[in-house]
Structure 1
Amino acid sequence: MTRAADQLGINHSTAFRRLATIEASIQQPLFERHRSGYVATDAGRAMVLAASRMDDTVAQFNRELAGRSSEPAGDLRITAPAGLVTSILMPIFARFQRRYPRIRLDLVLAEESLNLCRDADVAIRASDRPPPSLVGRRLATINWALYGTRNFVGRPLAECPWVCPSEVVAGGRFAAYAKSQMMSDKLAMSINTVLGLREAIEAGCGIGPLPRWEADTRPNLVRLSENEPALASSLWILTHADLRHAPRVRAFMDDMATEIGAMRPMIEGIGA
């Protein structure tokens, strides 16, 4: 109830009263109250499905309305990982805004995949298998390697302390890789997001995987391995099929493809 109230921007007691009002109006409970929390009843689950269908219908209407505009203008919500935005994308966004001053960018920094029907218009994300409901372009391969400070050069990697994204990141891919490469007692730090990983490695907390585009230019970091195929992924720009012809979406996707395409050697670590 507290989390629902926070999302609605109201206090706990107001959320409680509103739920009670709805239940009284339909004369059925929507939730069973337990000590551990609220559990939806059959009526509650049916209401969630009905609300989801209404939400999808409104989202589809908004996408169709956006596609009828002939000039690149309006709000454009973009989701992308925070590390990618701060290290690569922000200067690209600035140039895009100068070219299209009537498009207002709304950035949602998130490691997880947001719903492109409701939560965002365009996603820039690392993925090996984008959802079939989305359309877009593959921009580059994100190559990763092991890095550390000079203090770790020449030491057996398996015996060094390690810093790694935790199992909740990328389906546990990084955690599984680290477990296969290091001794069982050498995990010094795990982080539940890629953001902050470079800072931890650069501070000397241990060695760990980093994308080539982020680490190769850092003077305090040393690359300790070649590209690690188990960690490579594709960088995509994606949108919903209903939005792909909207002028503001098309302008942004074309612009990003050109800009990021020019940076592909750096992103993939070619020649570094």
Structure 2
Amino acid sequence: MSASWDDFRFVKAVADGHGLTGAAEALGIDHSTAFRRLGAVEKAIGARLFERGRSGYAPTATGRAMIEAASRIEADVAGFSRAVAGGSEEVAGELRVTAPVGLAGPVFMPILADFSHRYPAVRLDLIVAEETLNLSRRDADVALRASQGPDETLVGRRLTGLSWAIYGLASRDYGDLADERWIGLGEGVAGGMLSRFIKARVPPERIVIRLNAVTTLRDAIASGIGIGLLPCFEGDADPALARLKEPEPELRADLWILTHQDLRRAARVRAFMDHVAAAMMPQRPAFEGTNVSL
């Protein structure tokens, strides 16, 4: 057998991507290159690593052993990287931060701008993503995350509550909300929480459009398509919209700033988390929906 770490990493990428297409996208190569690469690795090892079927690439016993080894190596490398980064006492270097799309713009950018001016030696790398990035693998160093409670491997602080309410046009009077035209959301948005809320209260025929992201919700409501759910900090800030009910208790979540426990003592991580927490404090009423009463 003759296989390098790159071969192990490639095989894991095939497994993670459920085939060559996903692996090629993750590694930045084309499909034909990925196909040749898998053939070369299997030839070098002298064993088949995946069974090809309609549902994708299923790893063989040898493939699973190689993927498990790659996962252990990846975890060890990430742990070493976190240990080195966590020992830094200088507020300098690269800091990878992830935030949800809905928070990254009007809320987070002024905070990042102020931090950047205060700590010019820190190079910020902002990753805007709806999916939850893995802080253990150092996909990011710090995460701004809406959650009912952080993973046990992460440490941080609760910044504020996040409240959602039903909004419509401020220029209109509304009757029974279940009879109004509604803007729905796909099951993949916010873990399906918002979709389930609407389905339990609104007849299917009253949902006139369904969106696959919360980033277009405000525009859809403001355009007059129908009424819908919005986070209070966004809906209350738009004079064209009006809150039609008090915030919905079952949709409430918390906004956390989190890092991996190995990074909690790194000076740039501590400085950033303290800065964000202080900047968010005066904004709590807007996020919790207590700045407006019906």
Residue aligning to 2:189: 169
Q: Does the CA contact (< 8 Å) of 1:152 and 1:160 recur in 2?
A: no
**5+ long unaligned stretches in structure 2:** 1-19
**5+ long unaligned stretches in structure 1:** none
Q: Relative CO higher for 1 or 2, CA cutoff 8 Å, sep ≥ 6? A: 1
Residue aligning to 1:113: 132
SS at match of 1:245: coil
> What is the CA–CA distance in structure 2 between the aligned matches of 1:157 and 1:268, rounded to whole Å?
23
SS at match of 1:181: coil
Q: For 1:88-237, what aligned pairs fall within 5 Å after superposition? A: 88-118=107-137, 119-150=139-170, 152-237=172-257
Q: Does the CA contact (< 8 Å) of 1:87 and 1:214 recur in 2?
A: no
State yes or no: 1:12 paired with 2:20: no
State yes or no: 1:31 paired with 2:44: no
Q: Does the CA contact (< 8 Å) of 2:171 and 2:240 recur in 1?
A: no
Percent identity for Structure 1 against Structure 2: 52
C-alpha deviation, 1:111, in angstroms:
1.6
TM-score, normalized by length of structure 1?
A: 0.96
The one-character-per-residue Cα deviations of 1:134-160 (angstroms, maximum 9, x if unpaired) are: 111001001111001146522211011
CA RMSD of aligned residues (A): 1.3
Q: 1:71 aligns with which of 70, 87, 90?
A: 90
> What is the CA–CA distance in structure 2 between the aligned matches of 1:105 and 1:176, rounded to whole Å?
37
Q: For 1:44-59, what aligned pairs fall within 5 Å after superposition? A: 44-59=63-78
SS at match of 1:195: helix
Alpha-carbon spacing, 1:152–1:173, altered in 2? closer, same or farther (3 Å): farther
SS at match of 2:110: helix
The one-character-per-residue Cα deviations of 1:37-95 (angstroms, maximum 9, x if unpaired) are: 32211111221111111111111111111122211111111111111111201111000
Bigger shift: residues 153-162 or 208-217: 153-162
> What is the CA–CA distance in structure 2 between the aligned matches of 1:20 and 1:80, rounded to whole Å?
39
Residue aligning to 2:9: none
> What is the CA–CA distance in structure 2 between the aligned matches of 1:177 and 1:33, rounded to whole Å?
40
Q: How many equivalent pairs are there?
A: 272
> What is the CA–CA distance in structure 2 between the aligned matches of 1:108 and 1:92, rounded to whole Å?
15
Aligned AA (2:140): A
Q: 1:265 aligns with which of 281, 285, 288?
A: 285
> What is the CA–CA distance in structure 1 between the aligned matches of 2:134 and 2:55, rounded to whole Å?
28
